[in-house]
Amino acid sequence: MYAIESNMFEHMSYFQLRLSTMKVIDAPDLLIINSELPSDTFNFVCRAKFQESDVDSRIKSAIAPSASPKGIACLFPIATTAYGMVDKSQFATR
């Protein structure tokens, strides 16, 4: 991972890591930052490195908190990273 990505993820999760009412799930292939606030400003799904065989189920589970009755919005950034170009079509709703 590039240093700029690490810095961005640290910045995005700063408050959520320090407040007990907010959640950060830091897995090797996924980073979920959930403030429990109904705003995409503080809720992110990042660093997704899913296997092609389970990409659909992993996306559904990653965004499940935003499907709650609270309707929490989240950003799921898709970008060119150190891991190569991401095919955006694999994230389309089917």
Which amino acid is present at 49?
A: K
88 in a domain, yes or no?
A: no
Question: What contacts 39, CB < 8 A, 6 or more positions away?
Answer: 73
87 in a domain, yes or no?
A: no
Give the residue from 37, 48, 46, 47 showing the smallest Cα distance to 73: 37
What total number of domains does the chain contain? 1
85 in a domain, yes or no?
A: no
37 in a domain, yes or no?
A: yes
Q: Return the HEC string of 12-57.
A: HHHHHHHCCCCEEEEECCEEEEECCCCCCCCCEEECCCCCHHHHHH
Taking only the tens of pLDDT, the chain with its 94 residues reads 578 888 888 888 888 889 998 889 888 888 888 888 877 788 888 888 888 888 888 888 887 765 555 566 676 665 544 444 445 455 444 4
**Residue 45 structure tokens:** 């799904």
19 in a domain, yes or no?
A: yes
- Note down the domain range covering 33: 3-80
86 in a domain, yes or no?
A: no
94 in a domain, yes or no?
A: no
